[in-house]
Copies of this chain bind each other. A is one copy, B any other.
Amino acid sequence: MEKSEATTIEIGETSRESKGKTPLLAEVEQTARTAGSYRRGVAIFDLILRVSAATSALAATITMGTTEQTLPFFTQFFQFQASYDDLPAFTFFVIALSIVTGYLVLSVPFSVVCIAQPLAAVPRLLLIVCDTLTVTLATAAASSSAAIVYLAHNGNADANWLAICQQFGDFCQRVSGAVVASFVAVALLIFMVALSALALRKR
Contacts and interface: CB of A to CB of B under 8 A. Distances in A.
A43 interface: no
B22 A190 contact: no
Contacts of A193: 132, 193
Residue from A121, A146, A197 with most neighbouring chain B CB atoms (10 Å) = A197
Contacts of A59: none
B22 A159 contact: no
Contacts of A38: none
A148 interface: yes
How many copies of this chain does the complex contain?
A: 2
A184 interface: no
A42 interface: no
Q: How large is the interface on A (under 10, 10 to 19, 20 to 34, 35 or more residues)?
A: 35 or more
Contacts of A152: 159
Contact of A132 (B82, B87, B194): B194
A77 to B, nearest CB: 14
A11 interface: no
Contacts of A150: 88-89
A48 interface: no
A152 B24 CA distance: 67
Contacts of A186: 136
Contacts of A82: 158
Interface in A41-55: none
Contact of A198 (B25, B125, B144, B196): B125
A160 to B, nearest CB: 7
A9 interface: no
Interface string A148-163: 1011100010111110
Nearest to A163: B159
Interface in A135-181: 135-136, 139-148, 150-152, 156, 158-162, 164
B87 A156 contact: yes
